[in-house]
Amino acid sequence: MAPDLPLDPVLIRDPAQALPFDHAALARYLAAAGQTLDDTPLRQFAGGYGNLNYLIRVGGRWAVLRRPPPGEIPKGANDMGREHRALSILSPVWPLAPRPLAYCEDAGVLGAPFLISEFRAGLPLHGTAPLGAAMTPGTARALSLLQTDILTQLHAFDPAAIGALGLGRASGFAERTLRGWSARLHGAGAGVPPEAVALFDRLGQVGPADARLTVIHNDFKLDNVVVDPVTLAPNAVLDWDMATLGAPFFDLATMLSYWAEADDPAGLKAINLTHSEAPGALSRRALAEAYVQATGFDSPTDEADLRFFLALAFGKLGVVCLQLYDKFRADPEGNRRNEKFGAAAPGAFARGLDVLDGGLI
């Protein structure tokens, strides 16, 4: 008898729209490593704009196979090797990091490097109202603070003590990150909005010192969290393919850039699919204050540094929007859902300028 699915079937993509992989090739690869791939139907997770995720069974247990999307991959993105290293370091010391089961860097097996990790059951926090009618002001506040609590836990680890120093370089994070996203901006085919030019020019003049260094997720947002559907306790943090050593404020800033508020541009709010506008949800400023209080960070440069990283996070978000919109322009029928990102990008860059002018937090 086929095992029961460990999740709501709505989270699985229609098989007719799923991108298949070579089941036999994967079975041979795992067999050579002493593992058994169970014979189950093709199940690709729905949603997401980056890596492809599949629900599989290995040795009688549910697992997740992750691989980059087809096509050209931006430098530093969709890095399954990086995710494997991060999870190998974090999973023994932090229960929210899924345990990696296998990593293959040989693109000849499935067409791209891939990672297999344990499946974590629970409710993924996708969409504007993941709890539906159960979303009360109290739960909205709790989910708001859940984010800062998770980041506080992650950033409390001493990189040297957990063997994480190999995840990144010890200095120059802000400069490298700014330089990298600026390069991606000018590589976008959709054209560079004037707001983007102004934002990145100003960011180049106000870079902070690299005062703190922690393990960072580097793309943290609420929809990368899986929670217990009853207690809302976190079961897992997902999507570690950009994890590195860096400034903890950039993790906070990235989360805040995905956190919509009422006065955000309409195009930007359309892509911030969290519950952030639900009654009871905390503001960006309140979340920043909660994080700083929980971490105990206290430096005279903290406000200026956080403004730099939040403006940079909005710049990063704008560039990602342009990249996704490029996919729509290249294949409108195949990437119809990416059309909305064209209208979102200018708003993201404008919000970054607002931050540098003293707004938002």
CATH number, domain containing residue 16: 3.30.200
| 302 in a structural domain | yes
In this structure, the answer to whether residues 343 and 265 fall within a common structural domain is yes
Looking at the structure, do residues 95 and 128 belong to the same domain, yes or no? no
Helices (H), ranges, 60-211: 80-90, 107-110, 137-155, 173-187, 194-203
Helix (H) or strand (E) holding 237: strand 234-237
Helices (H) and strands (E) counted in the chain, each on its own, are 11, 9
Residue 134 confidence (pLDDT): 74
Same domain, 164 and 266: yes
Query: Is residue 3 one of the residues assigned to a domain?
Result: no
Tracing tokens 């704008």 back to the chain, one arrives at 318
Task: Verify that 26 and 86 share a domain, yes or no.
Answer: yes
End-to-end CA distance of the chain: 55
Tens digits of pLDDT across the chain (361 residues): 567 888 888 889 998 889 999 999 999 999 999 999 999 988 999 877 789 999 999 999 999 999 998 877 766 678 999 999 999 999 999 999 999 999 999 999 999 999 999 999 998 887 666 677 778 899 999 999 999 999 999 999 999 999 999 999 988 999 999 999 999 998 876 678 899 999 999 999 987 766 799 999 999 999 899 999 889 999 999 999 999 999 999 999 999 999 988 889 988 888 866 678 888 999 999 999 999 999 999 888 899 999 999 999 999 999 999 988 888 888 888 788 888 888 899 999 999 999 999 987 7
> Does residue 2 lie in a domain region?
no
- pLDDT, position 61: 95
Phi/psi of residue 79, each to 5°? Answer: -95, 95
**Which helix (DSSP H) or strand (DSSP E) does residue 234 occupy?**
strand 234-237
Same domain, 65 and 148: no
The answer to whether residues 155 and 168 belong to one domain is yes
As a whole number of angstroms, the distance between CA 159 and CA 247 comes to 12
Residue 73, phi-psi category: left (phi > 0), alpha (psi -120 to 50), beta (remainder)? beta
Work out how many domains the chain is built from and give that number: 2
Residue found under tokens 């639900």: 278
C-alpha 338/C-alpha 148 separation (Å) is 29
Indicate whether 16 and 113 sit together in one domain: yes
Structural contact between residues 240 and 178, judged by C-beta atoms closer than 8 angstroms: no
Identify the CATH number of the domain in which residue 154 sits.
Answer: 3.90.1200.10
For residue 57, give both structure tokens: 């069974």
**Dihedral sign for Cα atoms in the order 115, 49, 314, 153:** negative
Domain finish residue from 74, 99, 118: 118
Given phi > 0 = left and psi -120 to 50 = alpha, else beta, which region is 163?
Answer: left
Q: Give how far the C-alpha of residue 223 lies from the chain's centroid of Cα atoms, to the nearest Å.
A: 8
Report which DSSP code applies to 44. B
Of the three residues 59, 87, 118, the one that is the final residue of a domain is 118
For 45-140, strand residue ranges (E) read 52-58, 61-67, 100-104, 114-118, 123-124
**How high is the pLDDT of residue 138?**
92
Tell me the C-alpha to C-alpha distance, in Å, between residue 281 and each of 108, 129, 138. Answer: 46, 12, 8
Largest CA distance in the chain: 63
Domain span at 73: 9-118
CA-to-CA separations, 228 to 146, 223, 237, in angstroms, rounded: 12, 14, 12
Which contacts qualify for 39-42: CB closer than 8 Å, 24 or more apart? 40/2, 40/3, 41/15, 42/15, 42/18
Same domain, 79 and 141: no
Phi-psi region of 59 (alpha: psi -120 to 50; beta: other; left: phi over 0): left
Tokens in use for 305?
Answer: 């540094």
